[in-house]
A and B are shown apart, each in its own frame.
Chain A
Amino acid sequence: MDVNNLKQHALNIRRNIVKMVYAAQSGHPGGSLGAADILTYLYFEEMNVNKDNVSSTDRDRFILSKGHCSPALYATLSEAGLMDEDLLKFRQLGSRLQGHPNMNYIAGVDMSTGSLGQGISCAVGMALANKLDNKDHRVYALCGDGESEEGIVWEALMAACHYKLDDLCVIFDQNGLQIDGNVQDVIGPLPLLDKAKAFGAATVECDGNDFESLKNAFEFARQTKGVPTVIIAHTVKGKGVSYMENNYAWHGAAPKEEDFKIAMEDLKEVR
């Protein structure tokens, strides 16, 4: 693992996230920026997806259950050379880059998501299909901590544990914030790790904005047998853009011109 290389990819992805949301004047920059390192690690270190197999299902799969963070997925697919779309057409009429991902428009999008909670459920189905087909491909689902408030998330985890889907890795992107504020003030879904453990999953916590920490967590997941793994990845919402960090107001707001300039300055180089 070349950390500096990953940091450069993550920076490029973050710059594109901000550019996309700025161009569209619409979208979800906060969670996208926070999750950028997780996606970078998955696509540049962890998953066996490449140009040759991207159109196939015979490979590792990634489901962005928190589908509103589509800018992070599109920017990552683009950075990894797996997608050829014009990022600046994001959310615009006629573009394949829908506000929330559509699997039929983009080969690298493994499931259409956007309605929260459903992605993890679909990931359970994919992991079950792997077992039926005797494949050892891995299935990754990225869920928000706010998203965990949807009951289907826990229905899915119950099924994943029951069917011993050890190829499944659910990552909770725990940035502590959702649209209406702090997750604990809104309804209190935490602690997620204890809940996941109670359902029977193997659990591990990591710093979701640190590649060494992510590496340890994903290696733990890979070594886990007989149960699915839940990674609690602590992230900073808005990571990399000074005024967006830990500010829920940037969950679903687009920067104006002045803010955009500051963001590009913040994201000028690897720090």
Chain B
Amino acid sequence: MAQETRVAYGERLAELIKENENVVVLDADLTKSTKTIEAKKACPERHFNAGIAEANMMGMAAGLAASGKTVFASSFAMFASGRAWEIIRNSICYPNLNVKVCATHSGLSVGEDGASHQACEDVAIMRALPNMKIFVPCDQYETKAMIDYVAKIDGPCYVRMGRGKVEDVYNENTVFNFDKVDVLRKGNGDVVLFAMGLMVQEALKAAEELDATVVNVSVIKPADEEDIKELLASHKRAYTLEEHSVIGGLFSLVSEVKARTSITTPVTPIAVNDTFGESGKMADVLKKYGLTAEHIKEVVNG
């Protein structure tokens, strides 16, 4: 099946807000898009619309968290991470408050809205913040497990979700371990594909022909550096796949881990190459910017 990660978020959040009376949800006039409207329907008294004012929404989130609430604050990734960045830094991360920034509509897969709404820098700017933890689920099942997980851990979290439907990688029986990267397929030891978000699906599609190892890196911070090192050391070539800028995301993470070791495995990025996106259907945009299984195979096969 295919499902939007944001839809899974809305469904799980609607349950969570009923299960946990400490949970408060904030949105910035995008409840129908981010799907926090489901939480609003479930528990209207603990869902607040901040209006089109993302900066203030994050400040309100900080104040609620400073009074002991577990706060989920949602908007599009562009505005949640970008518009509100400095409030997230100074009022949430510096005091280490319990706010879960759950951003939807990340990356180029936003599609028709075009570059102004395609956040391809969000992981980079969130990664740079002390105390911030970063999660990028690849499908609906991982999303739901992650929402449960971030609700349980203390402190600021950024969860990066998408607008469009993504195919299932996992199923309802999957048990997730967010302390580890997830090796979804073991290859012949030649190629390892580190993937994030919807690129996990593309990696899996490309992997059979390449006989590549496929790794879902869904916790970007704190990352499972030990396993990343081992996977780098045990393969001849590594590729990082992300619907995100080549600067500051998964390629940076894997390269940074590698740089602290004597491992010589080359790491090649497949990412948004320091450019803005454009309008178009999700599949067309992803294809044009090289974020498909076909392009992965081309790059790996040289």
Contacts and interface: CB of A to CB of B under 8 A. Distances in A.
Contacts of B44: none
A159 B56 contact: yes
B155 to A, nearest CB: 12
A20 interface: no
Interface stretch (B91-99, B209-217, B253-261, B266-274): B91-99
- Is chain B's interface secondary structure helix, strand, loop, or mixed overall? helix
Contacts of A132: 24, 45-46, 69
B87 A121 contact: yes
A104 interface: yes
Nearest to A100: B90
The 10 closest A-B pairs by CB, nearest first: A125-B63, A121-B59, A129-B67, A155-B56, A122-B63, A125-B60, A155-B53, A125-B64, A126-B63, A112-B95
A130 B69 CA distance: 11
| Chain A interface residue bracket vs B | 20 to 34
Given A57-B68, A112-B95, A132-B24, A122 B60 contact: yes
A126 B64 contact: yes
Interface in B1-54: 24, 45-46, 48, 50-51, 53
Interface of A: 57, 102-104, 110-112, 114-115, 118, 120-130, 132-133, 151-152, 155-156, 158-159, 162-163
Contacts of B55: 121, 151-152, 155
Contact of B53 (A114, A123, A127, A159): A159
Contacts of A122: 59-60, 62-63, 66, 91
B87 A118 contact: yes
8 contacts: A111-B62, A118-B87, A122-B91, A125-B59, A129-B68, A132-B45, A152-B55, A155-B53
A125 B50 CA distance: 11
Nearest to B68: A57
Interface of B: 24, 45-46, 48, 50-51, 53, 55-56, 58-69, 71, 86-87, 90-91, 94-96
A220 to B, nearest CB: 24
B95 A111 contact: yes
B50 A126 contact: no
A120 B56 CA distance: 9
Given A122-B59, A124-B63, A125-B66, 14 more contacts: A102-B95, A110-B66, A111-B63, A111-B66, A115-B90, A118-B62, A118-B87, A121-B87, A122-B62, A122-B63, A125-B62, A125-B65, A128-B60, A129-B63
